[in-house]
Amino acid sequence: MSSSRDVLQRLVEFDTTSRESNLQLIEFVRDYLASFDVSCDLIYNEQRSKANLFATIGPAHLPGIVLSGHTDVVPVDGQAWTVAPFELTERDGKLFGRGTADMKGYIACVLALVPSLVNASLRLPVHIALSYDEEVGCLGVRSLLAELEQRPVKPMLCIIGEPTELKPVLGHKGKLAMRCDIQGEACHSAYAPLGVNAIEYAAELIGELGRIGSRLKAPEHHDVRFDPPFSTVQTGVISGGKALNIVPADCRFDFEIRALPTDDPRMVAQELQTYADQQLLPRMKAVSEQSEIRFSELSAYPGLATDARSEAAELIAAFCGSREFATVAFGTEGGLFNAAGIPTVVCGPGSMDQGHKPDEFISLDQLNGCDEMLHRMLLSISG
């Protein structure tokens, strides 16, 4: 497999939906690297059903460049695909299949570069990092980063290959996803004041979230590099109640905060907790001492804000041939790499406009463009 297209064809054939194991793909990559005498480390999850992969080509005792991508993809359930999602279909200069844009296209380009990396006289090492469970909260990469933190030399740059149409991206928002469980007291709806209506108290909490979100929209909180230019709050899931004639004892809702890198999303969660403790719980417990409002974290990852004057920014500008730095609305593992002390940028082939949709695709032009970007990187670090 000498071309990125050929490698991509193999990668798409592995169903690495987040709920499935990614081991077949990881073992394929391990064996592919071994065919070029490149060894790698596998970092398994607790159940050993999934694994991260980390490989180094070149002088490992020096700071190098990490080429990082996630192996999991989102589900195809309920989507109206016109092609087989786990087969590569070529049509009109486009390659269709789940994960082609997000983000197996980038991984394919990285793997296609391996023979050139092995044969080059590298002044700096190139690391290949593949993770699992990015799509469900950037979960898997955390154990990989924990391993890297134990090593004596940290990389000088990480390139997260999420689809940006090969534009250099230096920032994205962070995310905090939370769950709120309200425990009230059930009774016959004819005697509603004798119960504690969990749905109605959930509605008050959601209303308070809306007021917090409105405050975050104020111009003084804006950062025009982002779209929208402020931190956002939204409730996405809610459930509760058994029947119309029963005051509901239980209600649950999930909400998220998409925060500018300069904002702390946990401040929103803490403000809502304070509102619950001071304004709602006393009223609830006055009717039933068993009443509760519980908050739990579902997932979180930090934002990314790499300085446009940094060495990381200069390097990616040289590799992709552009200084038109941008931000993206979606999150990546970049904030976690950056928090681990590894300067990080986001730049990869394809567009997120095609990601997570039926008939996901990447254009051959974008794939070839990524090959060219990585070869420019190779030339810059070759002796």
Q: Which residues of 167-195 are buried (b: 16+ CB within 10 A; e: fewer)?
A: bbbbbbbbbbbbebbbbbbbbeeeeeeeb
- Per-residue confidence band for 383, with pLDDT thresholds at 50, 70 and 90: confident
Q: Specify the 3-state DSSP secondary structure of 271.
A: helix
User: Which pLDDT score, from 0 to 100, does residue 220 have?
Assistant: 94
The average pLDDT across 205-209 equals 98
- Fold (CATH) for 174-301: Alpha-Beta Plaits (3.30.70)
Whether residue 1 is predicted with pLDDT greater than 90 in this model: the reply is: no
Q: Specify the 3-state DSSP secondary structure of 230.
A: coil
Phi and psi dihedrals of 202, rounded to 5?
-60, -40
Q: CB count, 10 Å around CB of 206? A: 17
Torsion of CA 25, 30, 34, 40, to 10 degrees: 160
So where are the chain's domains?
A: 4-172+303-381, 174-301
**Are residues 12 and 88 in contact, defined by beta-carbon separation less than 8 angstroms?**
yes
Any idea what DSSP says for residue 218?
S
Residue 24's closest CA among 69, 32, 98? 32
Residue 204's closest CA among 243, 241, 235? 235
The average pLDDT across 346-369 equals 96
Give 126's contacts (C-beta < 8 A, 6+ positions apart): 56, 57, 58, 64, 65, 67, 117, 377, 378, 381
Token pair for 134: 């990015």
What span, in angstroms and rounded, lies between the C-alpha atoms of 247 and 284? 13
Q: Which residues of 280-297 are buried (b: 16+ CB within 10 A; e: fewer)?
A: beeebeebbeebbbeeee
Mean pLDDT of the chain: 96
Burial of 227 (0-12, 13-18, 19+ CB in 10 A): exposed
pLDDT digits (tens, 9 = 90+) for 78-96: 999 999 999 999 999 999 9
Please tell me the CATH code under which domain 4-172+303-381 is placed. Answer: 3.40.630.10
The average pLDDT across 120-143 equals 96
- Per-residue confidence band for 257, with pLDDT thresholds at 50, 70 and 90: very high
Known catalytic residues?
A: 72, 134
The average pLDDT across 252-279 equals 97
Residue 242's closest CA among 313, 319, 188? 188
- The pTM of the full predicted model, rounded to 2 decimals, is 0.92
Percent of the chain residues past pLDDT 90, beyond the cut:
98
Q: Which residue has better confidence, 329 or 56?
A: 56
